[in-house]
Every structure is written in structure tokens, then in C-alpha cells.
Structure 1
Amino acid sequence: MFRRLFIFITLSGFLTACSIQKQTLEEYWYGQGERLGRNGYQYNSETLKILKEKTPFKEIAYKEGYETGWQEFCDPYRAFEKGVQGKLYVAQCDGHPKEIMIKADWERGWQAFVSGEIFSVK
């Protein structure tokens, strides 16, 4: 009984160890760029400066990830929703091809938030 349990636990440990793969610096920086972009941070945010102090910086990977996250954050069809949620627009999407639409819809949502005319947005 104990021998089977020991073998089971040992094999489980080996399988877990084999399934954990270390992340490359490129994967790490792509992920950080995507996370920061998706959350509306500026490209050269204070958060990025702190991360750069801890890990060797791979700008190409970060830039690619940031662009992916930024495009998601600046989805023009979700701008109104962000405004209604009370999120301020502070030039996060400047330079986006649909910047005018994003700003207008975000502002409409913000005005609904401020005036209390909030309804359920799904």
C-alpha cells in the first residue's frame, strides 16, 4: 500500500517537473508588453522601468506584445463600455487609426457614468 503511494507520488512529481518549462526572455517580455498594453499603460510606463531593472530587456518582444495588448485595449467597439465603467481616457489610444471614434464613444460612456445614467453593459 505505502509502496504504491510512494511510487504514485514520485511519478506525479516527475510528470509535474517535466511539464514546467522555463520562459525565455522573449516570451517574458512579450507577455509583459501584452499585459501593459491590454491594461492601458503607456509604452514607457513607470511599471516598465521597474521591470527593466529586474530583468534584461528585450525591446522587440516587448514592443510586439505591447502592440497586441494595445490593439485589444483600444478596441473602438469597447470604448463606450470603458467610459461607463468610470475609466478615464488619458490619451491611451492616441495614434490609433480609429482614435476619433474611440474618444467619442469613451466620452459618451464617461458622461453616462458621471451623470448616473448607467445601465447594464454586457
Structure 2
Amino acid sequence: MLFSGKLFRQESSNKSVRKMIKKKMLSLLFISLSGCVSTTEELVKAGDWYQVGYQDGVVGRPARTVKELSRLGQVQQGDYDQGYLKGVTEYCNPEFAYQIGLSGQYYEGVCEGTPQSQQFRMEWQRGWDSYND
């Protein structure tokens, strides 16, 4: 009986270690990717509203309102919208949804209305559930 309890604790410990390693690896991946990205302020200063929109969309951020964009500078709404659409299209790929959920990133519903929204939500939820176990 003592052996089975010890074995259970060891398995639980191994699960915890694997989960911690997974979270650290995913965090490092996202940090390294974000290190290659210009800041919003730099992009606004350069007038690159397409890239501002793209960066918002590709990380699953809800689109900024006209008021929010206007606070940043003289906005080119069409460029922002085109960039955002491109970014959201990449973000909403169901093949990446599980990893997004597993990394602990909350899904803000930006894929609703897209052709694969249901599949994305299901895969994200599966990853989110694993993240929270």
C-alpha cells in the first residue's frame, strides 16, 4: 500500500514537472517572438498602420476602436483594418488554437464569424483545459 501511494506521488510530481516545463517553453517561445516585433509607438511614428493592425490581430487582440487609434496619432483606418484582418486570419487557424490555449492565453472571441471559428474554439478550449489542469 505504501508503495502505491509513493508511486502516485511520483507520477503526480512528474506531471507537475512536465506541465511546468511546457509552460516555460511556451513562454520563452512567445517572448522570443515578441522580441522581433516593433512596438506600437514605433509603428505609429513610422505611419505603419497596417503593421499596427496586423500585430493586434495576430495575437488575438480585439480590434481597436477609432477613438483608441486616434489617441495614438493620425490614423489610416483602412491600413489598420487590412492589417488587422490579415493578422486575425493567421491567429484564427485552428491548427494553432490548442497551443494558444495551452499557453494560458485567454481567447477574446476575435475568431467568431470566421469559417473555422467553432473548430478554433474547441481546440483552444482543449488547450485551455490542459493549461488549467
Q: Per the shorter chain, which TM-score range?
A: 0.5 to 0.7
Q: In the alignment, what sits opposite 1:82?
A: 100
Task: Quote the residue 1:13 is aligned against.
Answer: none
Code of the aligned partner of 2:60 = G
CA separation in 1, counterparts of 2:67 and 2:94?
28
Aligned to 1:35: 55
* In 2: Cα distance, 1:67 partner to 1:82 partner: 19
Aligned length, in residue pairs: 89
TM-score in terms of structure 2 length: 0.60
- Specify the alignment match of 1:94 in structure 2: 112
- Among residues 66, 89, 98, which one is paired with 1:71 in the alignment? 89
Unpaired segments ≥5 residues, structure 2: 1-44
Matches of 1:54 and 1:81, distance apart in 2: 31
Q: Where in structure 1 are there 5+ consecutive unaligned residues?
A: 1-21, 116-122
1:64 maps to amino acid: Q
Q: Percent identity?
A: 29
Report the aligned-residue RMSD: 1.9
- Output aligned runs, 1:104-119, within 5 Å: 104-115=122-133
The answer to which structure has the higher helix fraction is 2
TM-score (normalised: structure 1): 0.65
- The runs of at least 4 aligned residues of structure 1 exceeding 6 Å deviation read none
